[in-house]
């Protein structure tokens, strides 16, 4: 039995979780989310790119051949009594809304902004978030470091950001999510290249930085008053409702210093230690699922222990 965490918050690794079909080769396991039934959706760059499991790791179904090579951001959004997936594809430069079976309902492509996107200035979206009013926010993390806002039908509203380190500027805005814990919605952006989280109003006005107890934040998952985020430099971090540290999980301060990181050989990996956490989610029982950015793919389930 492998345990990770601190004296006040710990988790046990569910070893061997996830029955990958024999005809599927995992690519980079970039995204992971759970639905209200605690079914787990793993978004990876192999094909088919979406794999669905039950909470025990039993394979249920797959779809998403169209995302091979570009599967990246994966967000599950509840709209009334329905649930939908919002996905980003870094290779094709698209953001897609689907139902849970993979039917495409909306596609957003390259923003019509010639002053930002020219022949040598690619658009490569890494994550997506949805506001309470249905507005869609797309983070161009691997392109020009902008945030683009659309209404629920995909009509363009505004953009902000651009590469830099000043307030409002970004350097690889890799993840984006809506924070409801403060009483009014705020946009949290994983400003990964600047080693910080940047907080905005819903119309793009800079509010504050969060830059302690983290290194390279990738994305966010809000579970009650807590925020869980993958830190690419080999750990998963949990913050409380005031964005103060509760625990680091699976920390390996040697992993990201290895030659060839993040695509380390399978022989390097150890149970309960992370190399390059990229996506996380939390189910109804408080278990955490972690997807890592490694060529051979890896999903880890952490079972929350009683205090």
Domain definitions of the chain by residue range:
3-304
CA angle (171 as vertex; 170, 175 as ends), nearest 5:
80
Residues 73-90, mean pLDDT to the nearest whole number: 97
Domain 3-304 part of CATH 2.120.10.30 = yes
The CA distances from residue 127 to 42, 70, 259, in Å, are 15, 12, 28
Burial of 296 (0-12, 13-18, 19+ CB in 10 A): middle
Give residue-wise pLDDT tens across range 199-215: 999 999 999 999 999 99
Rounded CA gap, 213 and 162, in Å? Answer: 25
Question: Which residue bears the tokens 């990876």?
Answer: 44
* Residue that is written with structure tokens 């705020």 in the block: 186
The pLDDT of residue 55 is above 90? yes
> Global pTM?
0.96
Contact 11, 249 (CB under 8 A): yes
Residue 120: predicted pLDDT: 85
Share of the chain above pLDDT 90, in %: 94
271/287 Cα distance (integer angstroms): 16
What pLDDT shows up at residue 94?
Answer: 98
Residue 62 — pLDDT band, cuts 50, 70, 90?
Answer: very high
**224-248 pLDDT, tens per residue?**
999 999 999 999 999 999 999 999 9
Q: Is the pLDDT of residue 137 over 80?
A: yes
Query: pLDDT class for 118, splitting at 50, 70, 90?
Result: confident
Task: Give me the sheet containing 71-79, strands edge to edge.
Answer: 71-79, 82-89, 94-98, 104-108
pLDDT at 307 over 80: no
Q: Which of 242, 230, 235, 123 lies closest to 179, judged by CA?
A: 242
Q: Label residue 176 by pLDDT band (50, 70, 90).
A: very high
pLDDT at 283: 98
Burial of 70 (0-12, 13-18, 19+ CB in 10 A): buried
Mean per-residue pLDDT, 25-48: 97
Contact 86, 70 (CB under 8 A): no
How does the average pLDDT of the chain come out, rounded? Answer: 96
Chain segment 253-269, per-residue pLDDT in tens: 999 999 999 989 888 99
């Amino acid at each position: 039995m492998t345990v990770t965490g601190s004296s006040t918050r710990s988790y046990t690794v569910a070893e061997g979780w996830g029955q990958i079909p024999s005809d599927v080769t995992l690519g980079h396991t970039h995204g992971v989310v759970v639905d209200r039934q605690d079914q787990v959706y793993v978004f990876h760059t192999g094909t088919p790119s979406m794999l669905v499991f039950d909470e025990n790791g039993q394979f249920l179904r797959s779809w998403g051949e169209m995302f091979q090579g570009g599967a990246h951001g994966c967000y599950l959004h509840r709209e009334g009594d329905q649930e939908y997936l919002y996905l980003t594809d870094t290779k094709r430069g698209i953001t897609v809304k689907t139902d849970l079976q993979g039917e495409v309902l909306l596609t957003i492509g390259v923003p019509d902004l010639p002053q930002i996107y020219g022949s040598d200035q690619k658009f490569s979206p890494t994550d997506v978030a949805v506001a309470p009013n249905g507005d869609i926010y797309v983070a161009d993390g691997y392109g020009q470091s902008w945030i683009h806002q659309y209404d629920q039908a995909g009509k363009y509203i505004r953009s902000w950001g651009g590469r830099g380190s000043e307030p409002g500027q970004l350097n690889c805005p890799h993840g984006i999510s809506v924070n409801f814990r403060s009483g009014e919605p705020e946009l949290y952006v994983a400003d990964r290249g600047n080693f910080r989280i940047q907080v905005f109003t819903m119309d793009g006005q800079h509010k504050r930085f969060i830059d302690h107890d983290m290194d390279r934040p990738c994305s966010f998952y809000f579970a009650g008053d807590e925020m869980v985020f993958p830190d690419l430099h080999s750990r998963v971090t949990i913050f409380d409702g005031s964005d103060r540290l509760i625990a680091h999980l699976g920390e390996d301060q040697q992993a990201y210093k290895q030659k060839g990181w993040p695509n380390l050989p399978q022989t390097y990996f150890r149970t309960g230690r992370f190399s390059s956490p990229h996506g996380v989610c939390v189910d109804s029982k408080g278990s955490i699922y972690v997807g890592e950015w490694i060529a051979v793919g890896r999903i880890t389930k952490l079972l929350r222990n009683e205090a």
